[in-house]
Amino acid sequence: MEIIRARDYDHMSRQAANILSAQVILHPDSVLGLATGSSPIGTYRQLIKWYEKGDIDFRRVRTVNLDEYVGLAADHPQSYAHFMRVNFFDHINIDLKNTNIPDGTNADDEEECARYNAVIRKLGGVNLQLLGIGPNGHIGFNEPGDCFVKGTHKVELTDATIHANKRFFDSVDDVPRYAYSMGILDIMQAERVVMVASGENKADAVRDAFFGPVTPRVPASILQLHKNFTLVADEAALSKC
Ligand code: F6R
């Protein structure tokens, strides 16, 4: 496990963007695993800037997103599909046909999870997976539990996650209770994993995940066992380590 210490959010975002841009420049048809939320927004912004300067070409890049809320259509303003377009895809030359996100409108969860697992398999897996971390140690929507779940699955969000994510919705009642999420095995099978973590509210999760035992109670802790994992975290997120 490698740790890159960043001064603050902007520095963290540039460091993570460096790693992603190197991946795309060296392997233009890379499969990128992508995350939503506030942590990777700065990384996406930096990549957009470099794209605008002509330094990166996303034409052949393929993507799989980690997760999506069950019940939200792709055009819903809080859906992760919408987030990805507004914060990244609409600003670069990626072919939207090469982007993949679980379909939150598919009420048949077995069918949707099987479909998404097949999408990941058909792409041949993920070359570089970008992650954030929840204040409770979740990755994707793999919430703390008794075991690690391998593939894409439907998750009942914990109260902690519902409360952490209510800032994006009008009220806590509007936060969906379920999500589809890639599993831990999907994430662990990525060739390289990069996590961005910023702010004091991530300090407990970062300490428990990377300086404590590997346990499904702290899902991100499994990354200690990944052969090519980089944590890019700012001083505040590392303040309890
Ligand atoms: C989102 C995702 C989540 C977030 C986590 C942190 O696709 O996978 O695991 O990374 O909830 O969210 P932020 O970055 O908003 O603190």
CATH code at position 27: 3.40.50.1360
The rounded distance, in Å, linking the Cα atoms of 215 and 153 is 19
CA 53, chain centre distance (Å): 25
Q: Which atom of ligand 1 lies nearest, measured to the CA of 132?
A: 10
Residue 129, domain member (yes or no) = yes
State the catalytic residue, choosing from 65, 138, 165, 208: 138
Q: List pocket residues of ligand 1, CB cut-off 6 Å.
A: 35-39, 66-67, 132-134, 138-140
Residue 59, domain member (yes or no) = yes
136 counts as catalytic: yes
Q: Is the full-model pTM beyond 0.75?
A: yes
Residue 163, domain member (yes or no) = yes
- Model pLDDT, residue 128: 98
Residues of the chain with pLDDT under 50: none
Assign 95 to helix, strand or coil: coil
- Model pLDDT, residue 162: 94
Considering its fold, how many domains does the chain have in total? 1
- Model pLDDT, residue 22: 98
117 counts as catalytic: no
Tell me the residue range of the domain where 13 lies.
2-234
- Model pLDDT, residue 112: 98
Residue 240, domain member (yes or no) = no
Residue 241, domain member (yes or no) = no
State the catalytic residue, choosing from 112, 143, 208, 234: 143
Q: Would you tell me how many other CB atoms lie within 10 Å of the CB of residue 159?
A: 9
- Of 9, 12, 13, 36, the residue with max ligand 1 atoms within 8 A of its CB, to mutate for a pocket test, comes to 36
Ligand 1 centre to CA of 155 (Å) is 14
Residue 239, domain member (yes or no) = no
Residue 52, domain member (yes or no) = yes
